[in-house]
Amino acid sequence: MDDQKLVQLCLAGRPDAQKGLYERFAAPMLGVCYRYTKSMADAEDVLQEGFVKVFRNLKQFRGDGELGGWIRRIMVTTAINYLKKNIRYQTDLVFESEHLHPVSTDNPDVTLGAKELAGLLRQLPAGYQTIFNLHAVEGYTHVEIGQMLGIHEGTSRSQYARARALLIQWIKIRNKDPKTDVYAQSGL
């Protein structure tokens, strides 16, 4: 069944279609939520909140783009709102304007698996983690990120550079010794 038809049936209030839509997108979307949070429980909370928004706003999906992309944008927005609301992340989610770090030109081989790489990403401070996700994975520009997070564009750039440098450093360490505790060695 194509996405357009699935959406129509969901709009008609068909429970089987709603469940079908959920089952089709839940797993990859949980991966998205996982990257923005620090625990699987939080990721599932974001996923639940995000899918509720999806179903409530399904009428706004015009069918211009892919349904998956539309749902993914909702998930990302939901995750950011979740981080802002959740007190556990608030202390870590401080976007201070730092001195612009020179961006590393290193290009390490990313031989890690997806889950391992996501595990490293989740060890970044929440601010770094969010900005890296938004820029490197989702493809948002720093201007867009600044608007989304309410920060200056330069802040986004500097935090991204720091996050990137940390991640590359950790990946190199992991490439040498997969069992190393990268967080302990990073001095964070």
Partner 1 sequence: MHNQDFEQSVQQKMEELSFTPSASVWEKVRADIRPQRRRRVAFWLVPLAVVIGAGGWWLLQEGSGHEVAVNANKVPAANTTTGINSNIGITDDRPENKISSTVNEGDVAGKKENVLVNKNGTQQNARRIQQNSEPAANSSIASKDFNQKNTNTANGTGNESTVAAQPQTASRTASYSRQIFDRTGATQHTNTAAIEQARIVASISLLPPDRNQNELTVTGSKQKIALLRQEAKAVAARGAWQWGAAVHYGVANINRGNMVLQSTAADFSNVSPWPSQNGSSAPLRGPNLQLERGNYFSAGITLRRALGGGFAFGTGLQYERFTQRQMVGELVSRLSLPSNANADALRSEALYRDGAKKSYFHNKVEQVSVPLMAYVQPMRRVPLELAAGVHVGYVAGAKSLQYDTAARLYYAAKPPLNTWHVAGVAGVQYKIMEKGGWQLLGGPQVQYGLNRRNKLGSEPQRQLAYSVGLQLRRR
For the chain, state the CA radius of gyration.
18
Q: CB of 154: closest distance to partner 1 in angstroms? A: 16
Binding of partner 1 by 115 (CB under 8 A): yes
Contact stretch for partner 1 (CB under 8 A) within 18-26, 81-89, 94-102, 140-148: 18-26
Residue at 78: amino acid letter = T
Measure the CA–CA gap between 51 and 57, rounded to whole angstroms: 10
* Residue of 24, 73, 86, 118 that binds partner 1 (CB under 8 A): 118
If DSSP codes are grouped into helix, strand and coil, which group holds residue 54? helix
* Residue of 92, 122, 137, 175 that binds partner 1 (CB under 8 A): 137
Unique residue bearing structure tokens 């360490």: 173
Measure the CA–CA gap between 28 and 19, rounded to whole angstroms: 15
Question: Interaction with partner 1 in 59-98: which residues (CB under 8 A)?
Answer: none
Q: CB of 51: closest distance to partner 1 in angstroms? A: 5
Q: CB of 112: closest distance to partner 1 in angstroms? A: 7
Q: Which of 110, 95, 112 has the alpha carbon at shortest distance from 160?
A: 95
* Residue of 3, 17, 131, 140 that binds partner 1 (CB under 8 A): 17
The gap from C-alpha 24 to its chain's centroid, in whole angstroms, comes to: 19
Binding of partner 1 by 110 (CB under 8 A): yes
Q: Which of 162, 175, 187 has the alpha carbon at shortest distance from 108?
A: 175
User: What sign does the CA torsion over 31, 77, 110, 177 have?
Assistant: negative
Which residues of this protein are in contact with partner 1, per CB under 8 A? Answer: 1, 5, 8-9, 11-15, 17-19, 22, 26-28, 30-32, 34-35, 40, 43-44, 47-48, 51-52, 55-56, 103-108, 110, 112-115, 117-118, 121, 135-137, 139, 164, 167-168
